Each structure stands twice: as C-alpha cells, then as structure tokens.
Amino acid sequence: MAILVIEDEPGIADFVRRGLEAAGFTVEVEADGALGLLAAQGEHVQLVILDLGLPGLSGEEVLSRLRALRPALPVIVLTAKGAVADRVANLNAGADDYVVKPFSFSELLARLRARLRNPDQPSPVVLDAGGIRLDVRTRQATVAGREIALSSREFALLEVLLRHPGQILSQTQLLDLVWGYDFEGASNVVETYIRHLRRKIGSERIETVRRAGYRVVTR
C-alpha cells in the first residue's frame, strides 16, 4: 500500500516524501497531473496528496476525474490557495481535507493519519517509549504516569522523536518534520525546544549524539 504525492515542486515533493518514509509509509511521487491521475488508479494507492497547480492536467481536474474513478479514495489537497472560497470549492468537489502552503509536516501527517484511520478501530494512537506516553488523538502527555503540559510545538517534536524510538534524528530532519520545509526562523530552534522538553520530561530521556542529532532513550 502506498501514499501517492502529486506535486510538481521538487523541493516540496521531496520534503513530503522523506517525511512520510520516515513515518513508515511507502511513497510514490508524480509531478504531472495526467500521470498522477493514472497512478492514482492503482489499487495499491491508499491516499493521494494532491497539488492544484499541476502541468498536464490541473489538480482540480484530477480531483474531479478521480472522484468518478475511485470515489472512496482519500484525497488531501495541498496548495497555496488559502482563500475560503477555494477551500469550499475543493471540499465540495470531493477533497477529504485541505492543507495550505506553507505547512508543517506534523500537521499534514496528523491529517493523513486521520483519513487512514479505520473507523472500526476508534482507539487513540498512543506512543510509549522510555517512560513517556503520548496520546496523539487527545494530545495528552505523561511521564512516568505524571501528566505534563506541552505546547503544540513541544508535543510535535516529542511525537516525532517517539515515532523513532532509539533512532538518531538530525537537526535537519527535525526541522523538516516539525517546522516545515520553508522554515526561516532561528538556526538554534531545535536546540531551544529540546531544552524545553528536557526541563519537562527529564534531561536523561533525550540523548544528544554529538555531530549526529538527538534520540529518545528507551532503556
């Protein structure tokens, strides 16, 4: 099963692909609307992330034809068109969700998982490693059984680390996955938020691997 990304901007397509692969998904990428529509007809495709400004065939046309061909296939529109009228038009045309550029990967991933969730299994997604427990649906965090308050960015950063228990994630990977491909803020933002997290969950639970990155300690 695969996620199909139909996006003609190489930087964005690569950013989304890398993030989804890091989250455990198989990903296919098409940069042309007509080719994307053809690929989306494959039964192995379980969700489509669709840009609107595509060569060959517009995203709107891809969406319209795809709804006739595979009406149950989830489609998340990913576009710079953020006006309410554009959102309404695409949702009415059959899009299941709508994410406006620029975007954070954590938001896109959360929306994607919500669309893939089996309605017969409504239990929340819970991440548990190193004495840290995150309920992704309710946004509740506990450490050694004690509930802690996290900002949305702290939660997103900790979620990414917990989805890769014991794995070293570089600052670049964390910037991509938590802040987004177009982040232009302070260069030390990852270090700053790691410091915030350590104060709340315990410094021993996140290890700094020199010249490599950070990982959650699972032992």
**pLDDT digits over 31-79, tens only?**
999 999 999 999 999 999 999 889 989 988 999 899 889 988 999 998 7
Domain boundaries, the chain: 2-116, 126-216
Domain 2-116: give its CATH code: 3.40.50.2300
Cis peptide before 74 (omega within 30 of 0): no
156 vs 3, more confident: 3
Report the pLDDT averaged over residues 140-165: 89
State pLDDT tens for residues 94-148.
Answer: 888 888 887 878 778 888 988 887 544 433 468 888 889 998 777 889 998 999 9
Alpha-carbon torsion 15, 20, 22, 25, what sign? negative
Helices 10-22 and 105-116, axial angle in degrees (round to 10): 60
Q: Do domains 2-116 and 126-216 have the same CATH topology?
A: no
By C-alpha distance, which of 60, 76, 59, 52 is closest to 4? 76
pLDDT of residue 192 exceeding 60, the answer is yes
Given the candidates 1.10.10.10, 2.40.440.10, 3.40.1350.10, 1.10.1130.10, the CATH classification of the domain at 126-216 is: 1.10.10.10
What is the spatial distance between Cα 208 and Cα 76, in angstroms, rounded to a whole number? 36
Task: Indicate the SS3 state at residue 217.
Answer: coil
**Among 31-45, 152-166, 201-215, the least confident range:** 152-166
Q: What is the DSSP letter of 120?
A: T
Report the pLDDT averaged over residues 167-181: 81
What pLDDT shows up at residue 31?
Answer: 95
User: What pLDDT band is residue 202 in, cutting at 50, 70 and 90?
Assistant: very high
